[in-house]
Structure 1
Amino acid sequence: MLRLVLPKGSLERATLELFEAADLPVQRNSSVDYQATIDDPRIDSVRILRPQEIPTYVAEGLFDIGITGRDWVEETGSVVESLGELKYSKNTARPIRMVVAVAGDSTAASVKDLPDGVRVQTEYLESTRRFFEANGVEADIRLSYGATEAKIPDIADCVVEITETGRALRAAGLKVIDTILTSYTEVVANPIAHADPDKRKAMEQVMTLLNGVLDARGKVLLKLNVDDEHKDAVLAVLPSMKSPTVSPLSDGGYAVESVIEKSTINLVIPDLRDAGATDLLEMPISKIVP
C-alpha cells in the first residue's frame, strides 16, 4: 500500500522509537541497512535516507509518505502534502530553529545590522539566500559541510545553523541574532498518493497511531476510590485532560479515573490522599486517541 521513507541520522533513533511505541516496529538486518520492513498491511516498503533528500523524493513520487523536517521542505521547495507535525526532535519535544548566529562580541542585533558582502556559511543555501534578500543584505553565502559554528571569525562572519537548545552555539562563543524558521519533524505525502482514497485512509490511520503515542508521552492514568463525603473535595484537587470519569461502586462511593501530567504526580497524589481519596493507582499510558 504505502511506500514509506524514514530519516537517517540525528532523527533516526527517535523516529524508530516512535514507530516501535506505535506498534509499527521497523525491522532491518542491521543498523546501517537502508531498507527495512514494517509488518503492517498498510505499509508496503520502508527506506531509511537522509532527511535532506526526503521532501524531493516524496514530491517526485518515489515514496508515498515520508518523515523529515519543515526546514528541508522549505529549503528544497518541494511540493508535498503535509499530514501534520510530530512534536519530537533529536533529543527533546521542542522544535529546532534555523538561526543566524554571529560572534558573541559582535554589535549586530539582527541580520539587518550586517554589512553587504558579509560572509555566511550554512548547509541551507536557498533558505539563507531568501532570508538575506528579504532583509536587504547582499551576502556571500557558501556551503558548509559541517562544523559550521567553528568557522567564525576567520572563515565566516556569520553562520546559519539549526539548533534545538542553543547549547552548541553558546559553547562556540556565538550569539543568535535572528530566527529564519521554526521546524518540527513533519510527515509529508506525495500529492497524487494523497489524492488516492485508499492510500489517504492508510496515511490517516498511521498518523492516528503516531500521534496517539506522542499525546501519551509525559502522562499517566490515575485511578482512585472516594466516598460520598469526600467526593467534591477530591474532584476539586484532581486535574484532568477534559473531565475525570466517575463511576458508582456497588458497595457505595465512586471509582474515579483521570489522565494527568506525570510531572505533577508527586504533588497530586498526596493532595488527593489528604482530600479523602483511597486505593490510588498510577498506570502508564501507551497511546491517547481522542
Structure 2
Amino acid sequence: MLKLVLPKGSLEKATLELFEAADLRVRRDSVVTYRADIVDPRIDEVRILRPQEIPRYVAEGLFDLGITGRDWVEETASEVVSLGELHYSKATDNPVRIVVAVPADSPYEHVADLPQGVRVSTEYPQLTRRFFEEKGIDADIRLSYGATEAKVPDIVDCIVDITETGRALRAAGLKIIDTILLSYTELIANPASFEDPDKQHAMRQLQTLLEGVLEARGKVLVKLNVRAEQLDRVIDLLPAMKSPTVNELYAGAGYAVETVVPKATINVLIPALRDAGATDIIELPISKIVH
C-alpha cells in the first residue's frame, strides 16, 4: 500500500533501530544497498536515500511517506504533510538551528547590519536566498559543499550553517547574529496519499508504532505488593504517568500496585519503596506505550 523512504547517512542507524523496536524491521541485502523491505501488509516498498532528497520525492508522489529534517523540507520548498516530529536519536533529541554567523570581531550584530551585496556561503542556498530577500538584502549566495565555517572572512563575509549548540562555530571564531530556522526530524507524507482514507489510516498506524517506542524509551514498569496500612506511603512515592493501578489482593492480603516510572529514577525509587513497606517489587522493561 505505502511506499516508504528512510534517511541515509547520519540518521540511518538510529532510524533502522527505531523501526526494529517498532516491530517494523527493515531488511536489505547489504548496508550499502538503497532498496529494502519491511514484512508488513501496509508497506509495499522501502528505499533508503539522502535526507536532502526525500522531501521533494515525497512531494512529487514517488513515495507516500518519509523521514527527513524540517530544514530540507524548507530548503526544497516541498509541499508535504507533516505527521509530527520524531526525536529518536542523539541527533534528533534537540532541534538543530540554521543560523547566520559572522567573524567574532565583526562589527555586525544583526542581519539588518549586513551590507547590500554581502557574500554568503551555505549548504542551504534556497532557504538562505528567501531569508535575505525577506530582509531586503541583496545577498551573493554561494553554495558550500562542506567546511562552510572555514570560508570566512577570506572568501565570504558570513555563512548560513547548521548548529545544535553553537560550540563549533565559536571554536571557529564565529558569532551567531540570527536564527533562520529550528529543525527537527519529521515524519512527512505526500498530500494526495494522505487524502486517501486507506493510506492515511495505514500512515497513522505506523506513526502509532513509532511514537509508542519513543514514548517507552527511558521508562520501566514497576509492580509491587503492599499491605493496606502502608499503601498511601507507597503511592506518594510513585511518579505515575496518570495514576498508579491498584488492585486488591486475594483474601484482603493487601494491594498490588503497578505504574510506569523513569528508568533514571529507579535506583533511588526501589529502595525507597522497600523502606515504605512495599514487597515483591518487580522492574520490567517496556517496548511501547500507546496512549
Q: TM-score, normalised by structure 2?
A: 0.94
Count of aligned pairs: 290
Matched, 1:11 2:11: yes
* CA gap 1:14/1:164 in 2 versus in 1, 3 angstroms: farther
Match of 1:91 in 2: 91
**1:248 shift after superposition:** 1.1
Match of 2:149 in 1: 149
SS of 1:282's equivalent in the other structure is: strand
One-letter identity of the residue aligned with 1:206: L
Per mean C-alpha deviation after superposition, the further-off stretch among 171-180 and 202-211 is 171-180
Q: TM-score, normalised by structure 1?
A: 0.94
Consecutive unaligned residues of structure 1, counting only runs of 5 or more, are none
User: Does the Cα contact within 8 Å between 1:89 and 1:96 map onto a contact in 2?
Assistant: no
* CA gap 1:284/1:105 in 2 versus in 1, 3 angstroms: farther
**1:64 shift after superposition:** 0.9
Q: In 1, distance between residues paired with 2:121 and 2:90?
A: 23
The superposition leaves residues 84-124 of structure 1 with CA deviations (integer Å, 9 ceiling, x where unpaired) of: 11123553511221112222333433322323222211111
User: Does the Cα contact within 8 Å between 2:18 and 2:88 map onto a contact in 1?
Assistant: no
SS of 2:24's equivalent in the other structure is: coil
**1:175 shift after superposition:** 2.5
* CA gap 1:72/1:233 in 2 versus in 1, 3 angstroms: same
Per mean C-alpha deviation after superposition, the further-off stretch among 98-107 and 4-13 is 98-107
Match of 1:268 in 2: 269
The superposition leaves residues 175-225 of structure 1 with CA deviations (integer Å, 9 ceiling, x where unpaired) of: 222211111111111111111111111111110100001111111111122
Match of 1:282 in 2: 283
Per mean C-alpha deviation after superposition, the further-off stretch among 46-55 and 262-271 is 262-271
Alignment of 1:3-152 (within 5 A): 3-89=3-89, 91-152=91-152
Coordinate RMSD, CA, aligned: 1.6
Q: In 2, distance between residues paired with 1:159 and 1:84?
A: 29
Consecutive unaligned residues of structure 2, counting only runs of 5 or more, are none
User: Does the Cα contact within 8 Å between 2:86 and 2:92 map onto a contact in 1?
Assistant: no
User: Does the Cα contact within 8 Å between 1:6 and 1:46 map onto a contact in 2?
Assistant: yes
Per mean C-alpha deviation after superposition, the further-off stretch among 25-34 and 268-277 is 268-277
Match of 1:158 in 2: 158
Match of 2:174 in 1: 174
**1:166 shift after superposition:** 3.0
Q: In 2, distance between residues paired with 1:51 and 1:20?
A: 20
**Percent of residue pairs identical:** 71
